[in-house]
Amino acid sequence: MVSSVFAKEKQDGMPGPLHRPVCRQLRAHHAVMAAVHMRDLFAADPARFERFSLQVGELLLDYSKNRITDETMSLLVRLAEEADVAGWRERMFGGDKINNTENRAVLHVALRNRSNHPVRVDGEDVMPKVNAVIERMGAFAERVRSGEWRGYTGERITDIVNIGIGGSDLGPQMVVQALKPYRHPRLKVHFISNIDGAHVKETLESLNPETTLFIVSSKTFTTQETMTNAHYARAWFLAQSQAEKHIARHFVAVSTNREAVAAFGIDPANMFEFWDWVGGRYSLWSAIGLSIVLAVGAERFVELLEGAHAMDEHFRHAPLDRNMPVILALLGVWYNNFFGAESHAILPYDHYLRSLPAYLEQADMESNGKSVDRDGNVVDYPTGAIVWGATGINGQHAFYQLLHQGTKIIPADFIVSVEPHTNLQAHHDILIANFLAQTEALMRGRTREETQAQTGQFVSHKVFDGNHPSNAILLQKLTPHALGMLIALYEHKIFVEGVIWNLNSYDQWGVELGKQLASRILPELHADAPVGGHDASTNALINYYRRMSHPRTGL
C-alpha cells in the first residue's frame, strides 16, 4: 500500500521525488484547500477564467474549475522545477536514452519534427530516414487511393485491414475514426486486434480478397495475437487467390523486424520501417500510421504531424506556468498525490473522439502504471491514475451519477469541438449546452438551501456537493492538425507526470509478462494428461477446459 498524500518524509535522509522541499508546503496548502469550495473561489474572483485558461493554437484549455489558487499553481510549478522537468524534457528531445531499462531513446517527437532540425541518436541524425519513410508511405498510399495499385485480379482496393494490437492498433484506429470526415470515399479501413477468432472472422466475412489490402502492423513481428491473425488472413486470401505470388499485392508490413517480415512472405519492398526509439503506444506518428495515410491521404497525415509538432514546440519552449501539458500534469499530480484521487475521467463531447478514452487508457496507464521508480526503488507514493471514460453525453445517462454524488473525487477532462463536422446545428447546440451544464454543475453543485427552494422532498438525496474538478479542452474543429495537438498534449502530460514521479514512462514490463505467460499454457490446453504444474486454481481451470472444450479448426 502506498500513502495517498505526500505525507511521509523519507527516513534515510535522501529526498525522494515527492519528498522535495516544496512538497511540505504543498501538503500544508492542501490542508487549507481541502476545505475551500470552488463556488467561493469563483465568487471572489471574476477574472478566474482569464487567470486559469490558456490558448495554444486552436486549443483552449480552461482549468479554472479546479481546486486551485495562484498559490497552488506556483507551488506546483516549483515542484516541476525541483523535479527538473525542463532538464528531462531536453533529454527527451535531445535523443538521450531516457528509457533506461531498454537502453533506448524516446523520440516520437522526431517523427513529427516538421522543422526538420537534426535529431541525433548515437550521433546519427534520424531525420533523413524519418522523412524517407513518410515519403514512401505517402507514395504508396497515393497509388492505392488513386486506384493505380490493383489487386491480383486487376480490381481496385476497396478495403484496408490493419492487423495489430496495443500500440499497433489503438492509435491508428482512434485517429482513423476521429478523421472519418476526411476519409477516402472508396476505402474502408478495418482493424483486427483481438485473438478471439470472432474478430477476424467477422471482419473478413464481408470482404472480398480481390479488393482487400492487409497491413500487418507489429513492431516486433512476433506478437502472438497479431501473427496468428495475420496467418489466418493469409490463408483466407490464398484460399481464393490460389497463388503465393499474389501476396505481394495484398499484404504489406509495418515493423522494425525485416527478417520476420520476409519470413512471413511479405516482400521487404512492401515493408514500412520504424525504429526501436519509437515506443508502441507512441507510434501512430510512424509507419504504424500507414492506415491513417491510406484513409485520409498524405497531406492530412502531415497536418496531423504538424499539429503534434506545434504542441511539441509549445511544450519545449513555453514557460512552465504557461505550458499546457505541464499544467495538466501538475493538476494530475495535485489530485493524485494530495487529494488521493485514484482515477481520471476522459469525457469527449465529440462522436468522432469516442475511442480517445481507450487510446489514453493505454497511453497513460502503460506509461505511468508503475510501482518502481526509474532507479528500481519501490515507490511510496501513488503514481499513474486509473484512466477511463466514454463519450460524455452518453455517460450523462449512465455513470455521471457517481461523478456528481458518489464518494470519490474523480477529476475529469471534457473535450469538445466548437465547430461540428455535420450541419446539424441544433444537435450540436444541445451537445455543447450539456457539456457546459455538466462542468458547471460539477463545480457548483446545488446547496441544501437551493435544493429546498426547488423541492420539498428527499432534500438530502437531491443535494449536490459540487467542488468536483474538471478541465475543459476546446478544439476549434476536429481537424487533423487539432487532433495532432490534442494527442501530443496528452503524451507530454504523461511525460511530465512520469518525471515528477521519477518513473521510466517508456518501458512496459507488465505487457512483456503477459506475452510470455500464455505461451507456456497454450500447449497444455490439449495435453493428454491432466496438468499439474500451476497453482490449484489454474490447474483446475486448465483441466476443466481440457474436458469441456471441443476443438475446431478451419477457415
Binds ligand G6Q by CB under 6 A, chosen from 508, 524, 531, 542: 508
Q: How many beta carbons lie within 10 A of that of residue 272, not counting itself?
A: 22
| C-alpha closest to that of 335 among 344, 326, 323 | 344
Q: Are 382 and 337 a contacting pair, CB within 8 Å? A: yes
Can you read off the three cell numbers belonging to residue 39?
463556488
Can you read off the three cell numbers belonging to residue 418?
466548437
Question: CB of residue 309 vs ligand G6Q: minimum separation in angstroms?
Answer: 21
Active site residue 366: yes
Binds ligand G6Q by CB under 6 A, chosen from 66, 203, 226, 396: 226
| C-alpha closest to that of 392 among 341, 443, 439, 424 | 439
- 505 binding ligand G6Q? (CB under 6 A): no
- 67 binding ligand G6Q? (CB under 6 A): no
Question: CB of residue 405 vs ligand G6Q: minimum separation in angstroms?
Answer: 36
Q: How many beta carbons lie within 10 A of that of residue 388, not counting itself?
A: 17
How far is the C-alpha of 204 from the C-alpha of 226, rounded, in Å? 15
How far is the C-alpha of 80 from the C-alpha of 73, rounded, in Å? 10
- 291 binding ligand G6Q? (CB under 6 A): no
Question: CB of residue 161 vs ligand G6Q: minimum separation in angstroms?
Answer: 15
Question: CB of residue 69 vs ligand G6Q: minimum separation in angstroms?
Answer: 37
Grid cell 490542508 — which residue? 31
Q: Considering beta carbons, is residue 168 or 470 the nearer one to ligand G6Q?
A: 168
Secondary structure of residue 149 in the 3-state scheme: coil
How far is the C-alpha of 354 from the C-alpha of 356, rounded, in Å? 6
Active site residue 90: no
Measured at the alpha carbon of residue 484, what is the angle toward residues 481 and 489, in degrees to the nearest 5?
Answer: 130
Binds ligand G6Q by CB under 6 A, chosen from 58, 210, 303, 366: 366
Listed in sequence order, the residues at least 6 apart from 6 whose beta carbon sits closer than 8 Å to its beta carbon are 18, 19, 23, 26, 27, 337, 338, 381
Q: Considering beta carbons, is residue 281 or 344 the nearer one to ligand G6Q?
A: 281
Binds ligand G6Q by CB under 6 A, chosen from 281, 314, 444, 492: 281
- 218 binding ligand G6Q? (CB under 6 A): yes
Can you read off the three cell numbers belonging to residue 99?
528509457
Instruction: Give the active site residue among 58, 225, 303, 366.
Output: 366
DSSP label at residue 22: H
Binding to ligand G6Q (CB under 6 A) within 117-176 occurs at 165-168
Can you read off the three cell numbers belonging to residue 318?
513555453
- The DSSP bridge partners found for residue 464 are 446
Instruction: Give the active site residue among 231, 404, 421, 515.
Output: 515
> Residue 60 belongs to what H/E stretch?
strand 59-62
Long-range pairs for 515-518: beta carbons < 8 A, 24 or more residues apart: 515/223, 515/224, 518/224
Q: Considering beta carbons, is residue 108 or 314 the nearer one to ligand G6Q?
A: 108
- 289 binding ligand G6Q? (CB under 6 A): no
**Per rule CB under 6 A, count of chain residues that contact ligand G6Q:** 15
Q: Which stretch binds ligand G6Q (CB under 6 A): 239-247, 278-286, 374-382, 531-539?
A: 278-286
Q: Considering beta carbons, is residue 193 or 417 the nearer one to ligand G6Q?
A: 193
Instruction: Give the active site residue among 317, 397, 461, 550.
Output: 397
- 469 binding ligand G6Q? (CB under 6 A): no
Q: Are strands 412-419 and 470-477 parallel, antiparallel or unpaired?
A: parallel
- 16 binding ligand G6Q? (CB under 6 A): no
Q: How many beta carbons lie within 10 A of that of residue 399, not counting itself?
A: 16
Question: CB of residue 227 vs ligand G6Q: minimum separation in angstroms?
Answer: 8
Using Cβ positions, the residue closest to ligand G6Q within the complex turns out to be: 166
> Residue 20 belongs to what H/E stretch?
none
Q: Considering beta carbons, is residue 172 or 466 the nearer one to ligand G6Q?
A: 172
Can you read off the three cell numbers belonging to residue 519?
505461451
Binds ligand G6Q by CB under 6 A, chosen from 280, 348, 392, 469: 280
How far is the C-alpha of 271 from the C-alpha of 252, rounded, in Å? 6
- 511 binding ligand G6Q? (CB under 6 A): yes
- 212 binding ligand G6Q? (CB under 6 A): no
Binds ligand G6Q by CB under 6 A, chosen from 223, 355, 396, 439: 223
- 220 binding ligand G6Q? (CB under 6 A): yes
Q: Considering beta carbons, is residue 232 or 338 the nearer one to ligand G6Q?
A: 232
Q: How far is CA 19 from CA 70, 79, 264, 334, 379, in A?
A: 22, 10, 52, 14, 11
Q: Considering beta carbons, is residue 69 or 226 the nearer one to ligand G6Q?
A: 226
How far is the C-alpha of 392 from the C-alpha of 350, rounded, in Å? 8
- 228 binding ligand G6Q? (CB under 6 A): no
Q: Considering beta carbons, is residue 418 or 511 the nearer one to ligand G6Q?
A: 511
Q: Which stretch binds ligand G6Q (CB under 6 A): 91-99, 220-228, 319-327, 449-457?
A: 220-228
| C-alpha closest to that of 193 among 222, 221, 162, 171 | 162
How far is the C-alpha of 211 from the C-alpha of 489, rounded, in Å? 38
- 417 binding ligand G6Q? (CB under 6 A): no
Listed in sequence order, the residues at least 6 apart from 34 whose beta carbon sits closer than 8 Å to its beta carbon are 339
Question: CB of residue 272 vs ligand G6Q: minimum separation in angstroms?
Answer: 13
Can you read off the three cell numbers belonging to residue 449?
438551501
Q: Considering beta carbons, is residue 226 or 323 the nearer one to ligand G6Q?
A: 226
How far is the C-alpha of 465 from the C-alpha of 445, rounded, in Å? 5
Q: Which stretch binds ligand G6Q (CB under 6 A): 241-249, 277-285, 375-383, 417-425?
A: 277-285
- 279 binding ligand G6Q? (CB under 6 A): yes
Question: CB of residue 350 vs ligand G6Q: minimum separation in angstroms?
Answer: 25
Question: CB of residue 171 vs ligand G6Q: minimum separation in angstroms?
Answer: 9
How far from chain centre, in Å, is Cα 99?
A: 18
- 219 binding ligand G6Q? (CB under 6 A): yes
- 358 binding ligand G6Q? (CB under 6 A): no
Active site residue 462: no
Active site residues: 366, 397, 515
Residues in contact with ligand G6Q by CB under 6 A are 165-168, 218-220, 223, 226, 279-281, 366, 508, 511
